[in-house]
Structures are given as C-alpha cells and as structure tokens.
Structure 1
Amino acid sequence: MTNNIIERHPAIFSCCKLFMGIALIVIVLTSCKNSKSGGNNSNNSDGFMEAKIGGVKMQFSNNLSAQLSSDKTHIVVGGHLTSDPLSDSYDFEIFHAPAVVTTGTYGVPGTPNMITRYAHQNVVNGKVTGTTIFNASTGSGGTTSNAGTYTLVVTYIDDKKVAGTFTGHLQLLGGSSFVDVTEGSFSVPLH
C-alpha cells in the first residue's frame, strides 16, 4: 500500500491541476491585457491565435498573452474571442522541466505536464451561467488524463515571440463528448 496521495487519488490530482491551470490562465490573461485589443479586434497587431473549433473559425486574439518562465521550462499561451475576459477562450500550457521549451512537436499523449483547454461560456439572457470546458492533458508521466488528444508544433521561439500550429480532439471535462480543433495557428509576443 502506498502513502502517496497522487498515486491513490490520480483523478483528484488531475482535477486540482486543471483548476490551478485555469486560475493561472485567468491571471495571465487579465494581468497582461493589451490596451490595443479593445472590442472584437481579430487583427491584434501584437499577435494572433486562431483555430476551427467544431468546424467554426474562431480568433482568440483579444487579451492575448504568452508567458515563458525565466528558466524557459514553462510556457502558457492563451487568448479570448472578445475583449470581455468572460468570453470564450483557448489556451495551452507546457511545464517541460527540467528541459527548456524549444521548437519541436509536443503532444497529448506523450509530453509530460501539458494541457490545452477550450472554454465556452454558457450565456442565458446576457449573463454567464456556467463554463463548458473541453481539454486534453497529461500527467507527469506523459500519459493522458482523459481521452483527449492534442498536437502542438512550436515553429519559432525566442525571448520575444512564440509561434506555431496546433490540432486536437478535446474531451468535455467530466463528460464523454468531444470537440475537434483544426487549423490552429498562433504567433504571440512573450511577456
């Protein structure tokens, strides 16, 4: 019998990691809000993130942010559909320690400590009533935390910018339905 709570309760640990990741994304996206990205600006001069979600082209170029840790082992990139921080959002995160995040292909399954999320806001009578989250994630061993899959190709990264492409088959958090992410691409300044 093990005393390691992570081994005894992997689902609880995965859930905690997911909610901590979402909290981090909200903090990053709201703290690095770009003053040039007001309204429904899909042509943010500071960068872009776009993809087809369920076959619908979406641009997540508002409140767009990319953070790379000082040791270059952890990166978080995300954005919103509109300038409203409660609008639909898309993000991904790689915690690649001890290795640095460089150009190359990262995936779920395969890459340890990686997550991607599409958060859709459920709105009734102009008020957000909840959030539907689709994701794909891995734990420290690189195995999936759910049945979602994801491929991220970092084509460019330096101290000022990160760029690449992504596709995925994301699973509803706590559910069995999926949404396909296709034709994803991004080019975002690092803050």
Structure 2
Amino acid sequence: MGGEIINGFLVGKARFFKNKPAGLLLILFYTAISAVLFSACSSDEDGPNKTASQYYFRASLDGRQVDFYNVNFQGGGNDNRFEQIVIGGYEAPFLKIGQQLPPSLDFEIWKLGGDITAGTYSTPADQEMVARYAVQRPEGTILYSTRTADDIFTVKIESISKSGIKGTFSGKVRNLDSGQAIAITEGVFNLPYLDIVNP
C-alpha cells in the first residue's frame, strides 16, 4: 500500500511543477488520503500505532503549541535512497468518516536522482521543497504555503533511515490571497517510517 501512495506523490509532484496550483491541490489530496488510509490500517493499540512517549511531531503556530495527530513519515527513491520525503499531521484526531478534516501541517522535500540525508534544507534555496498549512472550511481550503520568495522555512534532519527520521523545523507559511503569514517555531519531530503517530 505504501508504494502506491508514494507513486501517487511522484505523479502529483510531476504535475505540480508543470501546473503549480492544480498540482498543489493534488498533493494535498494525496496527503489527506494517505493519512486516512494509514490511520485505518493502524487503529489497533497493539498494532503499529505509535504514541507520544516515543514518537512526536509538534510545533508552535503563531505561539500556539500543537501536538499533531495521525502523523506520518513516508518517502522513497531508487537504490534504497530517499529521493522524496513527506511528513504531515493534523491538529486533532479524526472523529468519524465524512467529518471535515482538522487543520493540517506538512512539508516535503524532493531530490530526484539525489539522496536526502542528514543536513539542513531550506526554502527558497531548495526549490523542490514545500511546506503547507491547510485549514478546511465548508466553502473550501484556506492554504498557507512557502511559495513566496521572501518566506523561509527550514528543516534540519538529524537522522534519517528506513527505521525513522528525527529533526527540527521552523519558518513561515503564507496565504497568497490574503498575504497573511503564520510563524512556525519550535518544530520538532521523531517519527518511525510509514507508521501513524498520535500524541
């Protein structure tokens, strides 16, 4: 199942750089679907669902502390390399199917033909990197992203392997329609590969 979702991200990525607005929505769709699928696969307490005692994804959004739910780290590439990674989660748990999704935060890094290793990655220098904060409303999604040249978002990866990933992040995401920005500070993550994490 994970390979199909990663292939979906690769398709979304190719379209994203040809048609950025449509591609961004497609990537958000794949992110939401993958979180729901992995959540359904990991709902058993004795299964691969991990708790905050061992794993976490948290940050302050404009000074508001958030421990994210249904967090997932996934990625892939050729020759056991990470050519693409995505980490994302939601501000609250999903209460039932069909309910409006809570706000979500995610970021992804692409290095097709390369290898994502421990180190620092930052927008806009890393052009194939994006961070997003999405707020669902009945009338549509309010999207904040790093698609402006003035806003910097930095991810520092301390360690990464098929066992998991650990690091920090901070920066700004901005709504292109309103110009409003959200400051993301004190971001930290320690996540297993492919398993769902809840606080």
The interval holding the TM-score normalised by the smaller chain is 0.7 to 0.9
State the match for 2:24 in structure 1. 18
Paired residues in the alignment total: 165
Identity of aligned residues (%): 26
2:65 pairs with 57, 62, 66, which one? 57
Highest RCO, 1 vs 2 (Cα 8 Å, sep ≥ 6): 2
TM-superposition CA deviations, 1:116-142 (whole Å, max 9, x none): 1111234xxxxx4533221114xxxxx
1:29 pairs with 18, 26, 35, which one? 35
1:121 aligned partner, one-letter code: Q
2:191 paired with 1:188: yes
Mapped to 1, the partners of 2:17 and 2:149 lie a distance apart of 10
Query: Cα offset for 1:161?
Result: 0.3
2:154 paired with 1:148: no
Query: Cα offset for 1:177?
Result: 1.3
1:98 pairs with 79, 99, 113, which one? 113
Structure 2 residue runs without a partner (length 5+): 1-15, 95-99, 195-199
TM-superposition CA deviations, 1:28-56 (whole Å, max 9, x none): 2112113168xxxx953562111110110
State the match for 1:87 in structure 2. 102
TM-score normalised by L of structure 1: 0.77
TM-superposition CA deviations, 1:87-130 (whole Å, max 9, x none): 111101111111111111111111121111111234xxxxx453
Query: Cα offset for 1:146?
Result: 5.1
Mapped to 1, the partners of 2:143 and 2:101 lie a distance apart of 13
TM-score normalised by L of structure 2: 0.74
2:144 pairs with 119, 134, 138, which one? 134
2:52 paired with 1:48: no
Q: Report the aligned-residue RMSD.
A: 2.5
Structure 1 residue runs without a partner (length 5+): 1-9, 123-127, 138-144
TM-superposition CA deviations, 1:137-177 (whole Å, max 9, x none): 4xxxxxxx554320111111011101111111111143311
Does the Cα contact within 8 Å between 1:146 and 1:171 map onto a contact in 2?
no
Which of the pair is proportionally richer in strand?
1
Mapped to 2, the partners of 1:92 and 1:151 lie a distance apart of 10
Query: Cα offset for 1:80?
Result: 1.0
Query: Cα offset for 1:82?
Result: 1.7
2:167 paired with 1:169: no
State the match for 2:3 in structure 1. none
2:163 paired with 1:160: yes
Distance 1:184 1:36, change over 3 A: farther
